[in-house]
Amino acid sequence: MSDFGFEVTATLPDGRGRAGTIHTPHGTINTPAFVAVGTKATVKAVLPEAVRDLGAQAVLANAYHLYLQPGSDIVDAAGGLGAFMNWPGPTFTDSGGFQVMSLGAGFKKVLAMDTVGLADDDVIAEGKTRLAHVDDDGVTFTSHLNGDRHRFTPEVSMRIQHELGADIMFAFDELTTLMNTRAYQEQSVARTQAWAVRCLAAHAELTRTRADKPYQALFGVVQGAQYEDLRRQAARDLAALEVGGASFDGFGIGGALEKENLGTIVGWVADELPFDKPRHLLGISEPDDFFAAVAAGADTFDCVMPSRVARNAALYTRDGRFNVNTAANRRAFGPIERGCDCYTCAHYTRAYLHHLFKAKEMLASTLATIHNERFTVRLVDDIRAAIESGDFDAFRSEFLGRFYASRP
């Protein structure tokens, strides 16, 4: 008997955007929701207890990184990802599909790529070496840690993710860049579809042989880059896919996206996916992207950006983003943002964070990350509340108008 389920509790007038609840063996996730990223079983610089206290409902880790270190077998022996990292709530694992792109082409972002005039299936980021090679059976990786070679296939990804024990996991997919040609995007969508069939079969067998473990939900991942026909066809095919009576429990929307077309692309996919299954948009965290994606039908999100920029002294406020390590904050004895309910703003000043960053103290990353993660989690929580109260459009206009007021 599966402990996984999803229900829609409110919708926007056009029926696409919605609020709902995801049920997992380790608790519920009220959606829309931002999922904090703990790539290596930790949100960098922050205790799991602090992640819980800032309001995060779930955490996402990466199967590829945990396979390399410490090893998925060790996480399994510890009782699964949540027990291993002392996180009591729901967990997600990414399949390793992002590493197909990031290690293969050297790019670290998939949103708003600068692709003008570029179309090259062998493109490599400047100064990078290709560490992943894709074929129809799977991907060969060269470890970024020690140079060892590893082979990922759909079956290997499923085994690793079952050992990691997350409540929600993703089918192994090939994530392309926006610089790949149309012909390659077509091949990649077909490859991801074939891998999805193999993932469902492996997932069913592992669920049977590991029946003593809590049920793990499997999400299929929709690719297709910026092409409407590819995105819609990929979504339809995954939604209809059934292997041995098993189908996907939900869906991820992945791949490289042009920022200005994000809402449009999510809308194409949402139109083709079943209404009663959750949709996770991989890798976004900017306020305007949240509003666009929620309005188009996305339910959950993850991104490393709030913590990554925090470690570089960039902090979010309702009036936009600023760098706390500038001279203007040296004698600023107020909180990062007045009215913020995070632990950092309740106890520390901009001047103190300025000092910590200038002194290169580790505590700087901790306090800055707590604030940025709380800002992001709270924003998506507020979007959910606005859907439920019928105030989504007004809240979007007010929030974005203020946040981007200084934008040229």
Q: What is the 3 state secondary structure string of the chain?
A: CCCCEEEEEEECCCCCCEEEEEEECCEEEEECEEEEECCCCCCCCCCHHHHHHCCCCCEEEEHHHHHHCCCHHHHHHCCCHHHHHCCCCCEEEECCHHHHHHHHHCCCCCECCCCCCCCCCCCCCCCCCCCEEECCCCEEEECCCCCCEEEECHHHHHHHHHHHCCCEEECCCCCCCCCCCHHHHHHHHHHHHHHHHHHHHHHHHHHHHCCCCCCCEEEEEECCCCCHHHHHHHHHHHHHCCECCECCCEEEECCCECHHHHHHHHHHHHHHCCCCCCEEEECCCCHHHHHHHHHHCCCEEEECHHHHHHCCCEEEECCEEEECCCHHHCCCCCCCCCCCCCHHHHHCCHHHHHHHHHCCCHHHHHHHHHHHHHHHHHHHHHHHHHHHHCCHHHHHHHHHHHHCCCCC
The angle, 0 to 180 degrees and rounded to 10, between the axes of the packed helices 350-358 and 362-389 is: 140
Please state, in angstroms and rounded to a whole number, the distance separating the CA atoms of residues 357 and 344.
Answer: 14
Between 93-102, 125-134, 272-281, 298-307, the lowest mean confidence (pLDDT) is in 125-134
Stronger pLDDT, 339 or 128, i.e. the higher one? 339
Longest alpha-carbon distance in the chain: 65
Please state, in angstroms and rounded to a whole number, the distance separating the CA atoms of residues 228 and 174.
Answer: 18
Query: Which residues are the active-site residues?
Result: 94, 302
Mark 102-117 as b/e (b = at least 16 C-beta within 10 Å). bbbbbbeebbebebee
Q: How confident is the model at residue 222 (pLDDT cuts 50, 70, 90)?
A: very high
368: which 2 tokens? Answer: 């800055």
Q: Examine the pLDDT at 114 and tell me if it is beyond 50.
A: no
- Write down the pLDDT at residue 84: 98
Q: What percent of the chain has pLDDT over 70?
A: 91
With beta carbons less than 8 A apart as the criterion, state whether 221 and 302 touch: no
- Write down the pLDDT at residue 397: 98
Tell me how long the chain is. 408
Among 346, 351, 396, 398, smallest CA distance to 371 is for: 346
Please state, in angstroms and rounded to a whole number, the distance separating the CA atoms of residues 350 and 174.
Answer: 42
What is the pLDDT averaged over residues 354-373? 98
Which structural domains are found in the chain, ordered by start? 5-299 (3.20.20.105), 314-403 (no CATH)
- Please work out, in degrees rounded to the nearest 5, the angle formed at the alpha carbon of residue 147 by the alpha carbons of 123 and 132: 30
pLDDT in tens, 52-83: 999 999 999 999 999 999 999 999 999 999 99
What is the pLDDT averaged over residues 328-338? 98
